[in-house]
Structure 1
Amino acid sequence: MKRTTSVFLVGPMGAGKSTIGRLLSSEMKLEFIDSDKVIEERCGANIPWIFDKEGEAGFREREEQVIDELTMLDGIVLATGGGAVMREANRRHLAGRGMVVYLCTSVEQQLARTAKDKNRPLLQNDNPEKILRDLFAKRDPMYREVADIVIQTDRRNPRWVVQELQKRLKG
Structure 2
Amino acid sequence: MTNKRNIFLIGPSGVGKSTIGRQLSKLLKIDFFDSDQEIERRAGANIDWIIDVEGEKGFRIREEKIITELTKKNGIVLATGSRSIISRTIRSHLSVRGIVIYLKMSSQPHASHTKIHKDKTMFKKMHFLPGIDLEKFENTQNLIYEELSDIIIHSHGQSIKAVTKQILSLLDDSL
| In structure 1, distance between residues paired with 2:69 and 2:133 | 30
Tell me if structure 2 keeps the 8 A contact 1:48–1:120: no
Distance 1:43 1:161, change over 3 A: same
Tell me by how many angstroms 1:116 deviates: 3.1
Deviations 1:20-67 (A, max 9, x none): 111111111111110100100111110111111111111111000001
Long gaps (5+) in structure 1: none
* 3-state SS in 1 of match to 2:103: strand
Tell me by how many angstroms 1:132 deviates: 4.6
Q: Percent sequence identity over matched residues?
A: 41
What is the number of residues matched between the two proteins? Answer: 168
Distance 1:155 1:132, change over 3 A: farther
Aligned-pair Cα RMSD in Å:
1.9
Long gaps (5+) in structure 2: none
Tell me by how many angstroms 1:111 deviates: 2.3
TM norm structure 2: 0.89
* 3-state SS in 1 of match to 2:153: strand
Q: Does 1:121 align with 2:107?
A: no
* 3-state SS in 1 of match to 2:140: helix
Deviations 1:102-126 (A, max 9, x none): 0011222222322233322331464
Aligned pair partner of 2:155 in 153, 156, 163: 153
| In structure 2, distance between residues paired with 1:165 and 1:145 | 18
| In structure 2, distance between residues paired with 1:131 and 1:113 | 19
Report the AA paired with residue 53 of structure 1.
V
Which residue number in structure 2 is paired with residue 29 of structure 1? 29
* 3-state SS in 2 of match to 1:32: strand
TM norm structure 1: 0.91
Deviations 1:132-155 (A, max 9, x none): 534312211111121110001111
Which residue number in structure 2 is paired with residue 141 of structure 1? 143
Which residue number in structure 1 is paired with residue 170 of structure 2? 168
| In structure 2, distance between residues paired with 1:15 and 1:82 | 9
Tell me if structure 2 keeps the 8 A contact 1:31–1:77: yes
Tell me if structure 2 keeps the 8 A contact 1:4–1:99: no
